[in-house]
Structure 1
Amino acid sequence: MSHLEHLDVVVVGAGLSGIGAGYRLSTTSPSRTWAILEARESLGGTWDLFRYPGVRSDSDMMTLGFPFEPWTDPDAIADGPKILDYLRATADKYAITERIRFGHAVVAADWSSDDARWTVTVDRGGVREQLTCSFLYLCSGYYDYERPHDPQLPGIETFEGQVVHPQFWPEDLDVSGRKVVVIGSGATAVTLVPALADRGADVTMLQRTPTWITSLPRRDRARDVLQKVLPGRIAGTAARYKNVIGTMGVYELSRRRPAVMRSLLAKGAARSLGSTDLVADHFTPTYDPWDQRLCVVPDGDLFEAVRSGRAHVVTDTIETFVPHGIRLDSGRELDADVVVTATGLRIKLAGGIALRVDGQERATGDLTVYRGMMFADVPNLAVCVGYVNASWTLRADLASRYVCRLLDHMEQHGWRTATPRAPGGMEGRPLLPLASGYVRRADAELPQQGDGAPWLMRQNYLLDRRDMLHGDVTEAMAFAR
């Protein structure tokens, strides 16, 4: 094995999570050898992949940004290009870019207990290469970058216009003066509709069922005040905690008092739309807020586009596509030059990498998570997964700091392997607390969580912060030399 390059840590993915992991690895133990393997030719992950009009964060940037590099741009809800610039600048500033190996798609990882190391197989433009590492940290997000969800829309092959998926937006697409139908009502659709209207399209959002939508200011005035009166890093931390607590408050209210939250969201939408009828017809879901993700629209841009007549919403189901558009089950026909299928993403945990432990395949769907980031009976491996009810980075950064604590503990005690061990008879539960289509479709691939700590995937930053930064790294963990 000695002829293969060996690193202490291999990080997979150079998006938000991978860049954050790189910073934590380089600052906690500078002597450790590590590299980031990135399948694509550029960093940024989601923010480099998605180029559709209006693409933006649906979390505030004080919590989506890194705690070690506070977001300073005036926009609290920021567009994709700004976020990508921020990620590039951060990676350059902390010398992370030079540790990224682009065009390295990890396809398999094999753990050997005899050697206490992972052998990582990489595809470089059709050529297979291998390297080894003592610890493998998967920061590849949980979307399938190659394949979005395809809902098999009836008759779509008969449509004579252009069909576009937001994940693969054509750079040269001009929608000005054209009829555009956006199919979907999730975060991508509610972002696209006002952006396409701004570009001169006659745009209709066609939804099977409504989604809960709330408006947030694009600029955070409280943060602006904090920045005037406090030094930079302190202002960033204060704004971060203000938003963490605010987001948690909305989530807890939604879970404990759903009727109150339904009323607040419906009233907010009615104020923005100037119509209770529109809210009743198109913006009142049958499910409770946060049974599925709550969609955020900055400065109510979607509501404003609908109110002004620049965009329309139709709630109906598709009977079939026809050459000039879509026929609905109600009999109505929607004319379209362009159809955008904002019908959702596919979850792909662990980057779709084939994991084997001592020759035995370990499918993610058969695993149980430990602290929401490692797997029972899988040594020296962590997966970075963010929150569903708050900014991804909040949890991603805690996970990276926990990995560094664990690595330091192993080094101090001369341990070569750390393996979470689940107690017998533990009851398994679904990993994510959402009834969203993309979560349901991935049931078979998602690992489960347990029925008590440290086997829970909690959606609570303050509790996770306590446990990940100060909890006992030896709890339910088997170490070996």
Structure 2
Amino acid sequence: MAIPFYDVIIGGAGLSGIGMACHLAQKCPNKSFAVIERRDDIGGTWDLFRYPGIRSDSDMFTFGYDFRPWHDLSVLADGTSIKNYIKDTAKEFSVYDEIQFSTSIIHADWDTQKQTWTLTLEDNDSQQQRQVECQFFVPCTGYYNHAEGHRPSFPNEDSFKGQIIHPQFWPNDLDYKGKKVVVIGSGATAVTLVPAMAEDCAEITMLQRSPSYVFSVPAFDALSKWLGFIMPKKWVFNLARKRNIFLQRALYKVSKRYPNAMRRFFLWTVKRQVGDKVDMKHFTPYYNPWDQRLCAVPDGDLFEALSSSQANIVTDTIKQFDETGIKLDSGQHLDADIIITATGLSLQVLGGMTLGQDGQQQAFSERMTYKGVLVEDVPNFAYIFGYTNAPWTLKADIASRYVCRLINYMDENQLQSVYPHADAGQKTDATVMDEMQSGYIKRAKDVLPKQGKDVPWRVLNKYEIDKKMLLKQPIEDSPLVFLRKNENSIVEELQQANL
């Protein structure tokens, strides 16, 4: 029985995978492709996480796709709206029917002689395996481990008589109405859960070991609403997107250049909203702004919940659990019926699949990325990886467009395969996410790809530069090695032909 062949296989039907598929369908319409999705529905992260209040932590004008405007005026959209947006996009651009659900990619192996990828797939229900082949393989699996979150063990936790829940695996039938709840954590999940649950809980406490920077953003884009009365929707979207990209980049740049000034600014914005009702020690981090991601809250809902006494916040360390809650090192005891461990994520690259070349397994974490998209010495392979210091989709969009440019260039020049090759001594010990100091990134140092010393092997995380590099610079570049089928490098031939 012949093995099915596709020009392109995309791994994952989340925000990045559907974006890649839509770009491919528009810019490479003659290419056959399939999207392999391990879950039984579209959405990726936005299908996985279902805890109360789940929402984006970036504004939707920039978190949404550049080719399909977000016309809702909600700035931070809820998880269901984002999932529906992804699904509607897939259907609108006729890529939904190309998704193979409930199918995991177990292994991908590059055959040098055939210059094709062979992927081993497994049906999640039957565990039966099958193979498919493709010329170009594009994993869009993000970096979350869907099978497990980061869950530290706590002393004596088995003695607790209530429920312990990780937000990544939220029970659909959880009843927290009238219950005492402790949320352990200080990141985006914790600051979302606390105000979302506060009204229904008898008591809810956010317990953090150390504070994070939290800032308020408008829940509703009033300016875009008024512009909508005098401008076409597309103009309003484009203006909002450009405005928000500029503001985000400016905030990041100023934070990195003037950290002390921005630290004072962020603390001042919190103080204005909580007044004297909340001790500012709970919002005064030990690190500088943007060493870790900032936590955005719509219309200051967390600050409102705390200042109105609907919720509490405690900064302390855990001594041990007991039957009725948590005993802290300070001696304080937090009573709880439910403990939520919003303690972070476990990172995983390639969705857990293994990677090989000619039957030899390859260590993905020892490779560098070229322009943050292609992978060192791995042919016909692109890894769509978004920003960590800006909305994820900004990078995913331009990376997908670059892949389409590359595929079209190869077709025009009758090329079969391409891989980037680095000079000796280029690789460093830093990972592609080393700019951020978040705990989940530090824990994944041995998992993530490496950084190079210089561009294009160094990940810049600078949208304005990345956009030019990926969309404007010529495809032909000295680190790229192009091959025709069963032939050696033709880089010199291409240069002589001035292609």
Say whether the fold is shared (TM-score over 0.5). Answer: yes
What does residue 483 of structure 2 align with?
480
- 3-state SS, counterpart of residue 435 of structure 1: coil
Q: Deviations over 1:214-259 (max 9, x none)?
A: 1000112232234333322232122111101100111111100001
* 8 A contact 1:148–1:344 mirrored in 2: yes
What does residue 199 of structure 1 align with?
200
What does residue 473 of structure 2 align with?
471
- Give me the whole-angstrom Cα distance separating, in 2, the residues matched to 1:228 and 1:142: 41
What does residue 235 of structure 2 align with?
234
The aligned runs of 1:364-443 (5 Å cut-off) are 364-428=364-428, 429-432=430-433, 433-443=435-445
Amino acid at match of 1:282: H
The aligned runs of 1:52-71 (5 Å cut-off) are 52-71=51-70
Amino acid at match of 1:477: L
Q: Deviations over 1:391-438 (max 9, x none)?
A: 111000111100000000111111111000112221423311111000
Amino acid at match of 1:443: K
Identify which range, 299-308 or 459-468, moves more after superposition: 459-468
* 8 A contact 2:140–2:384 mirrored in 1: yes
* 8 A contact 1:67–1:236 mirrored in 2: no
- Give me the whole-angstrom Cα distance separating, in 2, the residues matched to 1:449 and 1:401: 22
- Give me the whole-angstrom Cα distance separating, in 2, the residues matched to 1:352 and 1:362: 13
- Give me the whole-angstrom Cα distance separating, in 1, the residues matched to 2:241 and 2:423: 37
What does residue 222 of structure 2 align with?
221
* 8 A contact 1:47–1:84 mirrored in 2: yes
Identify which range, 51-60 or 361-370, moves more after superposition: 361-370
- 3-state SS, counterpart of residue 229 of structure 1: coil
Paired positions, count: 479
Amino acid at match of 2:214: I
- Give me the whole-angstrom Cα distance separating, in 2, the residues matched to 1:361 and 1:202: 52
* 8 A contact 1:226–1:239 mirrored in 2: no
- 3-state SS, counterpart of residue 314 of structure 1: strand
What does residue 166 of structure 2 align with?
165
2:288 maps to 1:285: no
* 8 A contact 1:210–1:285 mirrored in 2: yes
Amino acid at match of 1:237: N
Q: Deviations over 1:44-79 (max 9, x none)?
A: 011111100000000000011111111111201111
The aligned runs of 1:123-138 (5 Å cut-off) are 123-124=122-123, 125=125, 126-138=127-139
Alpha carbons of structure 1 residues 336 and 18: separation in structure 2 relative to 1, 3 Å? same
- Give me the whole-angstrom Cα distance separating, in 1, the residues matched to 2:300 and 2:240: 22
- Give me the whole-angstrom Cα distance separating, in 2, the residues matched to 1:230 and 1:390: 28
Deviation at 1:277, TM superposition (A): 5.9
What does residue 448 of structure 2 align with?
446
* 8 A contact 2:119–2:133 mirrored in 1: yes
* 8 A contact 1:270–1:276 mirrored in 2: no
- Give me the whole-angstrom Cα distance separating, in 1, the residues matched to 2:404 and 2:465: 19
- Give me the whole-angstrom Cα distance separating, in 2, the residues matched to 1:447 and 1:31: 32
What does residue 104 of structure 1 align with?
103
- Give me the whole-angstrom Cα distance separating, in 2, the residues matched to 1:402 and 1:201: 52
TM-score w.r.t. the length of structure 2 is 0.94
Gaps of 5+ in 1: none
What does residue 179 of structure 1 align with?
180
Deviation at 1:200, TM superposition (A): 3.2
Amino acid at match of 2:365: G
* 8 A contact 1:377–1:419 mirrored in 2: yes
- 3-state SS, counterpart of residue 35 of structure 1: strand
What does residue 34 of structure 2 align with?
35
Amino acid at match of 1:357: Q
The aligned runs of 1:303-342 (5 Å cut-off) are 303-342=303-342
Q: Deviations over 1:169-213 (max 9, x none)?
A: 111111111000000000000000000103334110000000011
- Give me the whole-angstrom Cα distance separating, in 2, the residues matched to 1:468 and 1:17: 16
Alpha-carbon RMSD:
1.2
- Give me the whole-angstrom Cα distance separating, in 2, the residues matched to 1:14 and 1:42: 8
- Give me the whole-angstrom Cα distance separating, in 2, the residues matched to 1:276 and 1:326: 24
- Give me the whole-angstrom Cα distance separating, in 1, the residues matched to 2:482 and 2:293: 38
- Give me the whole-angstrom Cα distance separating, in 2, the residues matched to 1:183 and 1:143: 20
Amino acid at match of 1:157: D
